[in-house]
């Protein structure tokens, strides 16, 4: 189990599907984030947590996307060991600023598009882009951002329509509301909303 290798330091967040905690690896003393998702039954292909693992594996190696380090499965839990990003949510950063310059907006948007281009080239759609799922690598600066939370992400397959019924109301694309197949354009709708908000 993951607790054999990591000590919990503090809770970072809690959502509908799980809890995220900051941990330190016992052997190396490296700090990580661990996302724990409880389940009623063993993890199988097609489950939400399996789709998230596959999407994170595809995102591996890109500096604008959250990195998966390891996954632990038990009968009742899946634990994702993830890189720790401590700069805070973009949403909080924007809420604390009196002004947000066009140059900052361009920097943020370019980085977001860079990460999405990589993700889309791997045939992965995020489907939950919003300020809360974009973290600053360094506190108080959009000099470097990372996209997190791949819980709704899907891998697009040729000749197979993918549908999603969830999302954040302010950022959800029309095809989700109308129950049409999702595509990379679904993420681009959210990018447009984010750019407008900026």
Domains of the chain (ranges; CATH) run: 2-83 (3.30.200.20), 90-197 (1.10.510.10)
Q: Which residue has the higher pLDDT, 5 or 91?
A: 5
The pLDDT tens digits of the residues spanning 143-194 come to 799 999 998 999 999 888 888 878 788 898 988 888 999 999 999 999 999 9
Clarify whether 128 is annotated catalytic: yes
What's the whole-model pTM score? 0.88
List, as own/partner pairs, every contact residues 129-133 make where C-beta atoms lie below 8 angstroms and the sequence separation is at least 24, other chains included.
129/171, 129/187, 129/190, 129/191, 129/194, 130/91, 130/168, 130/170, 130/171, 130/190, 130/194, 131/89, 131/90, 131/91, 131/94, 131/194, 131/197, 132/89, 132/90, 132/91
The pLDDT tens digits of the residues spanning 57-88 come to 999 999 999 999 999 998 889 999 999 998 99
pLDDT of 142 strictly over 80: no
> Catalytic one among 4, 7, 103, 128?
128
């Amino acid at each position: 189990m993951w607790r054999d290798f990591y000590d919990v330091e503090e809770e970072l967040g809690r959502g509908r599907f799980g809890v995220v905690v900051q941990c330190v690896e016992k052997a190396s003393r490296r700090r990580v984030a661990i996302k724990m998702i409880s389940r009623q039954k063993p993890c199988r292909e097609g489950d939400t947590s399996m789709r998230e693992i596959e999407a994170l594996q595809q995102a591996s190696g890109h500096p604008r996307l959250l990195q998966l380090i390891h996954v632990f499965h038990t009968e009742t839990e899946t634990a994702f060991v993830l890189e720790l990003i401590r700069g805070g949510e973009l949403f909080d950063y924007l809420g604390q600023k009196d002004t947000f310059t066009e140059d900052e907006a361009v920097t943020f948007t370019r980085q977001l598009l860079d990460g999405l281009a990589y993700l889309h080239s791997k045939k992965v759609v995020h489907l939950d882009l919003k300020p809360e799922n974009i973290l600053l690598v360094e506190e108080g600066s959009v000099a470097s951002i990372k996209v997190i939370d791949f819980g709704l992400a899907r891998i697009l397959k040729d000749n197979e329509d993918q549908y999603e019924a969830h999302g954040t109301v302010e950022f959800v694309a029309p095809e989700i509301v109308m129950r049409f197949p999702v595509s990379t354009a679904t993420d681009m709708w959210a990018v447009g909303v984010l750019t407008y908000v900026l």
